[in-house]
């Protein structure tokens, strides 16, 4: 029996997995440039469905709400998550306290999103007894997104802190630099790639989020995922395919930018070493 130098099954499984993941996305992109309004038949290439997106007031409003929500929540989560990561890594916590913080940091990541969203509904219902600002709407959505974004930012920044060369920080303290000066001039510049990567991840998660947005949104704070969900119930049209393709391309651009920044940081560190 002839023996193969390389296994055939593993490459086939890899190609099959890639096809399973990306063929549906390619199908959506192809339907977005199909001149046919309904059905799966190809009736020619067209950009008119993309042009129609920019003349639809509901879509433009949903785009603005999505970008505003993602931008504000990411900014807050990046500051809080970075501070949390530095505090957990640099303060001499006891073993039990450190384990407690570690457990609570991973909870938003591993908790099912539907459970998290239900808890937020109860929390906001309680807070409405004290202030009407917690009525369903943009404020609730920002708070809801920040609560799960913080954990992802903190985890990315902590992984960056773990790869630090502590000798630079120790040299700064040996030269009588204050804690504030060391933080501004040494720690934060070295953390910048991790902070930016964490912010991009948080921004992407906010753009794609549906469940938490659905449970906290108001009538004037509809985001793109909510708009697409509502439109699908009326029937999938090429405009929805075009809108989904634009969202996919934006997500890919963010991931590629984050990966390039991470690679540049590694190259810079290896050159300094």
Please identify which residue in the block is written with the tokens 């930018």.
257
Is the per-residue pLDDT at 170 higher than 50? yes
For helices 113-127 and 138-162, angle between their N-to-C axes, nearest 10 degrees: 130
- Output 48 or 162, whichever has higher pLDDT: 48
Q: Which helix (H) or strand (E) holds 149?
A: helix 138-162
pLDDT single digits (tens) 216-256: 998 888 998 898 888 877 777 788 888 888 888 887 887 78
Is the per-residue pLDDT at 273 higher than 60? no
What's the pTM value of the predicted model, to 2 decimals?
0.81
226-248 burial, b if ≥16 CB within 10 A, otherwise e?
Answer: bbbeebeeeeebbbbbbbbbbbe
Give the Cα separation of 190 and 55 in Å (integer).
44
Residue 174: band (very low, low, confident or very high) from pLDDT cuts 50, 70, 90: low
Quickly count: other Cβ atoms within 10 Å of residue 158's Cβ.
20
- Output 260 or 138, whichever has higher pLDDT: 138
Which residues lie below 8 Å from residue 250, measured CB to CB, with a gap of 6+?
Answer: 207
Which pLDDT score is estimated for 1? 47
Is the per-residue pLDDT at 5 higher than 60? no
Give the Cα separation of 271 and 239 in Å (integer).
48
Which pLDDT score is estimated for 231? 82
Give the Cα separation of 196 and 79 in Å (integer).
11
Mean pLDDT of the 2-20 span: 75
Give the Cα separation of 163 and 265 in Å (integer).
12
pLDDT single digits (tens) 82-108: 999 888 887 777 888 888 888 888 888
Residue 266: band (very low, low, confident or very high) from pLDDT cuts 50, 70, 90: low
Give the Cα separation of 46 and 104 in Å (integer).
50
Is the per-residue pLDDT at 204 higher than 50? yes
Structure tokens at 75: 């900014």
Which pLDDT score is estimated for 213? 92
Which pLDDT score is estimated for 17? 87
53-63 burial, b if ≥16 CB within 10 A, otherwise e?
Answer: eeeeeebeebb
Cβ proximity of 69 and 142 under 8 Å: yes
* 254 exposure class (CB count in 10 Å sphere: 0-12, 13-18, 19+): middle
Is the per-residue pLDDT at 259 higher than 80? no
Structure tokens at 12: 């086939």
Which pLDDT score is estimated for 216? 92
| Residue spans per domain, the chain | 56-272
Lowest-pLDDT range of 9-23, 59-73, 127-141: 9-23
Return the CATH number of 56-272, one of 1.20.1530.20, 3.40.50.300, 2.60.40.10, 1.10.3720.10. 1.10.3720.10
Quickly count: other Cβ atoms within 10 Å of residue 268's Cβ.
11
- Output 254 or 204, whichever has higher pLDDT: 204
Averaged pLDDT of the chain: 83
Is the per-residue pLDDT at 50 higher than 90? no
Mean pLDDT of the 129-145 span: 91
Give the Cα separation of 166 and 69 in Å (integer).
37
Which ranges constitute the DSSP H helices of 32-137? Answer: 48-53, 57-90, 95-110, 113-127
Residue 265: band (very low, low, confident or very high) from pLDDT cuts 50, 70, 90: low
């Amino acid at each position: 029996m002839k023996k193969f130098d390389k296994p055939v099954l593993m490459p086939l499984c890899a190609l099959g997995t890639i096809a399973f993941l990306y063929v549906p996305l390619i199908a959506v992109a192809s339907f977005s440039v199909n001149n046919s309004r309904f059905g799966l038949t190809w009736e020619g290439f067209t950009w008119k469905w993309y042009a129609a997106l920019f003349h639809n007031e509901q879509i433009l409003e949903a785009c603005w709400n999505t970008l505003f929500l993602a931008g504000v929540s990411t900014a807050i989560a990046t500051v809080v998550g970075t501070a949390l990561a530095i505090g957990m890594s640099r303060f001499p916590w006891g073993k039990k306290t450190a384990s407690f913080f570690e457990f609570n940091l991973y909870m938003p990541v591993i908790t099912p999103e539907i459970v998290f969203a239900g808890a937020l509904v109860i929390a906001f219902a309680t807070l409405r007894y004290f202030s009407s600002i917690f009525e369903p709407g943009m404020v609730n959505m920002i708070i809801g997104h920040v609560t799960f974004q913080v954990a992802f930012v903190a985890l990315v920044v902590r992984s960056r802190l773990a790869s630090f060369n502590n000798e630079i920080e120790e040299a700064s303290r040996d030269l009588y630099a204050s804690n504030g000066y060391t933080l501004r001039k040494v720690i934060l510049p070295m953390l910048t790639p991790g902070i930016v990567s964490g912010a991009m991840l948080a921004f992407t998660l906010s753009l794609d989020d549906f469940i938490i947005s659905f449970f906290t949104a108001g009538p004037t704070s509809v985001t793109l995922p909510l708009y697409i969900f509502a439109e699908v119930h009326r029937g999938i049209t090429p405009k929805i395919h075009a809108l989904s393709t634009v969202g996919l391309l934006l997500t890919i651009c963010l991931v590629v930018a984050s990966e390039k920044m991470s690679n540049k940081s590694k190259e810079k560190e290896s050159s300094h070493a």
